[in-house]
Amino acid sequence: MKVAPVSPSTGFGARGFQGVLRWAFVVLAAAWALPAAAIFSDDEARRAVLELRQRVDTQRQQMDAQRQQIDTQRQQIDTQRQQMDTQRQQLDAQRQQLEAQRLQIEGQAGKLSELGRAVEENAQLRRSLLDLLQQLEVLRTEMARLRGQDEQLAREISELQRSQKDVAQGIEDRLRRFEPVKVSVDGREFMADPTEQKEFDAALGLMRKGDFAAATPAFTEFVRRFPQSGYRPSALFWLGNAQYGIREYTAAIATFRSLLQAAPEHMRAPEAVLSIANCQIELKQVPAARKTLEDLLKAYPQSEAASAARERLARLR
């Protein structure tokens, strides 16, 4: 009994998998081809995130559908292999029966009256055995082919899964560059875009180096670009300090007052009031400085800045 081989047009062979793999790498290239300029626009970055996520979902669904097709093909191959095993068992049983009949016939070969018939039956048995052997050989060849096809499918599935994982990881890494992250600055926690965080840290790094001339425009540009940022109060505080460092006392006073107006409960607010008084002292505005220090004592009596304010008031008197 011959078993019809599985038609290549209904399977998911190497050529189909190569197409899937080429498609997966195209998705990867498209994900990495996003313009770098997207990081400079919050709205565009978020749209890019949504579009990329939709592409990832679509690609995953397509890959899942292809993987289901492969699983279906492999199940069909397993079913055919089971059928062949059953047929082989039946052929083995028939061969055993024929062998038993042959033995019986040979036992009766001594009888002259049945010798001719026994010889003919024996020849028929031999022909039947040859046919069975040929069928068994065909079954062995077909099973070897199916086993090889199954192993090829397993390799292609493994490669597809590996490619899918690489593509998904690459897209996730790229998306992560645009997703807001949770940060904590000056006792406050908020969500910030990676670009926002990077620019604030860069400006703060200039302050830590004592480069007030470079820190002043850096913080000024940050406040302009991110007016709603959770970093804004801290950025105003350090901008005022940078302006104080380059002796722009009037501008520093305006900056510290912007901080107090925007976030009077900020942990840097007492220091901002004290810094205003210091700027007024530098500008020889002693009465105004005294009034500012007195306001600091009233508004933030338990702060460390209040202790420094008492000392300065004592010297001003």
pLDDT of residue 267: 95
**CA 113 – CA 285 distance, rounded (Å):** 144
pLDDT bracket for residue 91 (50, 70, 90): confident
Tokens of 161: 């899964």
- The per-residue pLDDT of the chain, averaged, comes to 82
pLDDT of residue 257: 97
Higher-pLDDT residue of 284, 175: 284
Residue 184 gets which letter from DSSP? E
Nearest to 291 by CA among 301, 303, 281: 281
**CA 309 – CA 278 distance, rounded (Å):** 10
Ranges of H-type helices in 226-267: 232-245, 249-262
pLDDT bracket for residue 6 (50, 70, 90): very low
The dihedrals phi and psi of 11, each to the nearest 5 degrees, come to -90, -170
**CA 287 – CA 227 distance, rounded (Å):** 33
pLDDT of residue 153: 74
Query: Is there a contact between 293 and 313 (Cβ–Cβ < 8 Å)?
Result: yes
Count of C-beta atoms within a 10 Å radius of residue 84:
18
CA distances from 177 to 34, 129, 191, 251 (A): 12, 72, 14, 35
pLDDT of residue 4: 47
CA distances from 97 to 73, 83, 94, 106, 203 (A): 36, 21, 5, 14, 93
Tokens of 273: 């009031």
Give residue-wise pLDDT tens across range 111-165. Answer: 656 767 767 787 888 888 778 878 878 888 888 888 888 788 777 777 767 766 6
Give residue-wise pLDDT tens across range 37-58. Answer: 444 467 888 888 888 889 888 9
Residue 5 gets which letter from DSSP? P
Is residue 257 exposed (0-12), middle (13-18) or buried (19+ Cβ within 10 Å)? middle
Query: Is there a contact between 84 and 142 (Cβ–Cβ < 8 Å)?
Result: yes
Would the CA dihedral through 259, 262, 268, 270 be positive or negative? positive
pLDDT of residue 9: 44
3 state SS of 188 = strand
Q: Which position has the token pair 């039947």?
A: 128
Query: Is there a contact between 266 and 186 (Cβ–Cβ < 8 Å)?
Result: yes
**CA 181 – CA 162 distance, rounded (Å):** 29
Beta strands, E only, the chain: 181-185, 188-192
The CATH topology of domain 182-316 is 1.25.40
**CA 309 – CA 111 distance, rounded (Å):** 134
pLDDT of residue 233: 96
**CA 197 – CA 222 distance, rounded (Å):** 10
